[in-house]
Amino acid sequence: MNNILVPIGTSPNSSDTLQYAINFASNFGAKVFVMDVFTVTSGTGSLANVKEKVAKSSKEQLREVIDKVNTNNVELKIATYNGDIIDGLKEINKAEGIDLIIIAPRSNAIEEELYLGNTTGRIVKQTNIPTLIVPKGTEFKPIKKIMTAFGSGIVKRSRTLNPLIAIKDKFRASINLLLVKRPGYSEEDLQVNTALLDLSQNLTMTSHANTYLGVLEHFQSQNPDLLCVFRRKRGFFKKLWEKNTVLKSEFFVPIPVLILSVKKD
């Protein structure tokens, strides 16, 4: 894990998320890209001049956030982008190769009822970059226990598991698999990827209407430091992926959530 990206928004808690990312990155010797986006349209005065001024202001705001954290000898790089955040993420990923995005679940401008705000939801839904969602106020601590929950054991590309493997190896974490048999499951869904099985200490099977209910059933007994799930067309969050925001009533855990994207089912 070499390059970690932290999108910075208007939330006053941005420095907390960045500090978590820095402390996380220090364990891997990774660089942290601190990113902000802005929008300057062609109808805004002298485009080149305005864009330059806004870009300068954006960088100054990022430096203000950086000044609030302990860099812990981690190399920080500032990245700004004029346009949509998804386009910006894809561009920097193409140029640098981002291994992980670390982001808060929502901005302070979003209602307390929401777990995922619009920006975070779009990042998770519209990019294939592994994403670690860190709840507000979470202080970094070594990850020792990981619950990996899924409704299908099919993982066609083993490299999908790379972030999970890196975290397991670095912190010598134990991984417990939770396979939730949902209505309409197939026998193929019960055939767990061998690479995933090799990572784990045990596999628990349960039956529920959705994967989240399975997580709720076993969350307290397993007491994980990290929840790992897969985003796929018919996987975790199911219909929740149809929209960008996610209500806390639909999903909420008080620990970091690692979301790995499975492109094809």
Between 171 and 104, name the one with better pLDDT: 171
Same CATH topology for 3-103 and 145-261: the answer is yes
User: Would you list the domain boundaries of the chain?
Assistant: 3-103, 145-261
C-alpha to C-alpha distance for 44 and 185, rounded to whole angstroms: 53
Confidence of residue 175 (pLDDT cuts 50, 70, 90): very high
The whole-model pTM stands at 0.86
**Residues 6+ away with beta carbon under 8 Å from 160:** 230, 260, 261, 262
- What pLDDT does residue 265 have? 39
Alpha helices in 14-75 (DSSP H): 14-26, 47-66
Tell me which range, 25-34, 82-91, 181-190, is most confidently predicted by mean pLDDT. Answer: 25-34
Which burial class, exposed, middle or buried, applies to 139 when counting CB atoms under 10 A from its CB (0-12, 13-18, 19+)?
exposed
Helix (H, G, I), strand (E, B) or coil at 131: strand
CA angle 207, 254, 89 (to 5 degrees): 95
Count the alpha carbons within 13 Å of 221 in the hemisphere toward its beta carbon.
Answer: 8
Mean per-residue pLDDT of the chain: 83
pLDDT at 123 over 70: yes
Instruction: Read off the pLDDT of residues 193-213 as tens digits, 9 standing for 90 and up.
Output: 999 999 998 999 999 988 888
* Percent residues over pLDDT 90 in the chain: 46
- List the strands of the sheet with 100-103, edge to edge: 76-82, 31-38, 3-7, 100-103, 131-133, 257-261, 226-231, 145-150, 174-181, 202-207
Question: Looking at residues 104-132, what average pLDDT do you find?
Answer: 71
Which stretch of DSSP H or E encloses residue 260? strand 257-261
Helix (H, G, I), strand (E, B) or coil at 88: helix
Between 261 and 264, name the one with better pLDDT: 261
- What pLDDT does residue 178 have? 95
- What pLDDT does residue 124 have? 77
CATH topology of domain 145-261: Rossmann fold (3.40.50)
Between 21 and 243, name the one with better pLDDT: 21
Helix (H, G, I), strand (E, B) or coil at 207: strand
Nearest to 16 by CA among 121, 136, 110, 108: 136
- What pLDDT does residue 257 have? 93
CATH topology of domain 3-103: Rossmann fold (3.40.50)
Identify the weakest region by mean pLDDT among 5-19, 140-154, 236-250. Answer: 236-250
Contact 237, 215 (CB under 8 A): no
